Amino acid sequence: MIKMFGMVLEKPDNIEKEPLKLKELEIPEPSSDEVLIKVSACGICHTDLHVIEGELPPRKLPLIPGHQIVGRVERVGKNVEKFKEGDRVGVAWLYSSCGKCKYCQKGMENLCDSPEFTGYTKDGGYADYAISKEEFTYVIPEEFSDLHATPLLCAGIIGYRSFKLSNVKEGENLGLYGFGASAHIVIQIAKFYGCKVFVFSRSEEHRKLAEELGADWVGTSADKPPEELDSAIIFAPVGELYVSALKVLRKGGTVASAGIHMSPIPSFPYDLLYNERIMRSVANSTREDALELLSLASKIPIKTKIEVFPLKDANHALKLLKKGGIKGAGVLRVGRD
């Protein structure tokens, strides 16, 4: 019987202890509404770290992480109509939604009461093969190679949703707190819409990348930008950045947090929130977000900056991600070395 290899998490632990182990596994079989994908690349993400280190409560163990998957359809379930063998496709964080709860009925499937998540409640893309629901599988634009497409499938999609929910308008001032995989895509979207972008990062390398991508100003969260912000997006999982952003936000402005996990938000004077400033979280994303982002990525076109690692080095890549040591987005090249 043909087997596959995958990086498996059996028990959440600090990434420094290298909890992912390369194991030989059986290739899964797609059900009637699923496709089996031969994975060529899978992006790495801070959410993977939150899952691996147990900051998100374990939902499936053992688990293959990874939710920014690009590959080719290997097999299709008997009821699948949209895809055929050989199609190049991508998979994102939201594996499925129930379609029945009040949120799904209102078009808010990202808030579904019974969702499934790729690389969290379902096995993901740190492996030779992965399963995906037909309706939650996406055609990858031809403009992007497999490796360069992977960051679009989470960093891009959640960044795009955060951009929308930040309420920033064309030509306004947008602050980005943290400048990793998602922010390096959002800055390109913001510049496409004529926004001024102010980037706050503790990493000199990340600030340099921001300047290369057109940032109008760079500094740290302790610095005051030369102009007031109309909107801000927080990408770093640090609660006190809400306070930093509110201090430089105009009346009626919005601060949106793009993270699935964040350290506690410290208390702060009500004056910082007064004058109808808005603090909001961004939770998951919808299929509509994914389709809109992939179309926009081709139109701009977005240029993803990536660092590539072999699948067997997933622990090492995630250590670098945790320390802010990846410029742009980290991507696992899946295949046998």
Q: What is the pLDDT along the chain (337 residues), one digit of tens a residue?
A: 579 999 999 999 999 999 999 999 999 999 999 999 999 999 999 999 999 999 999 999 999 999 999 999 999 999 999 999 999 999 999 999 999 999 999 999 999 999 999 999 999 999 999 999 999 999 999 999 999 999 999 999 999 999 999 999 999 999 999 999 999 999 999 999 999 999 999 999 999 999 999 999 999 999 999 999 999 999 999 999 999 999 999 999 999 999 888 999 999 999 999 999 999 999 999 999 999 999 999 999 999 999 999 999 999 999 999 998 998 999 999 975 4
Same domain membership, residue 139 and residue 8:
yes
Same domain membership, residue 318 and residue 190:
no
Q: What is the pTM of this model?
A: 0.94
Same domain membership, residue 319 and residue 245:
no
Torsion of CA 188, 193, 196, 200, to 10 degrees: -40
Same domain membership, residue 75 and residue 177:
no
Here the CATH number for the domain that contains residue 23 is: 3.90.180.10
Question: Per DSSP, what are the bridge partners of residue 88?
Answer: 72
Tokens read off for 230: 């109309």
In this structure, is residue 55 part of a structural domain?
A: yes
Same domain membership, residue 189 and residue 111:
no
Same domain membership, residue 171 and residue 148:
no
Q: Give 3-state DSSP helix, strand, coil % of the chain, rounded to 5.
A: 30, 30, 45
Same domain membership, residue 148 and residue 7:
yes
In this structure, is residue 289 part of a structural domain?
A: no
Same domain membership, residue 139 and residue 86:
yes
In this structure, is residue 74 part of a structural domain?
A: yes
Out of 242, 265, 281, a domain closes at 281
In this structure, is residue 183 part of a structural domain?
A: yes
Same domain membership, residue 234 and residue 210:
yes
Same domain membership, residue 171 and residue 235:
yes
Give how many domains the chain has, as a whole number: 2
Same domain membership, residue 170 and residue 116:
no
In this structure, is residue 226 part of a structural domain?
A: yes
Same domain membership, residue 87 and residue 206:
no
Here the CATH number for the domain that contains residue 275 is: 3.40.50.720
In this structure, is residue 300 part of a structural domain?
A: no
Confirm if 65 and 318 have CB atoms less than 8 A apart. Answer: no
In this structure, is residue 233 part of a structural domain?
A: yes
Q: Which residues are within 8 A (CB) of 198 and not within 5 positions of it... i.e. 6 or more apart?
A: 173, 174, 175, 176, 215, 216, 217, 218, 219, 225, 227, 229
Residue-range definition of the domain harbouring residue 264 = 157-281
In this structure, is residue 143 part of a structural domain?
A: yes
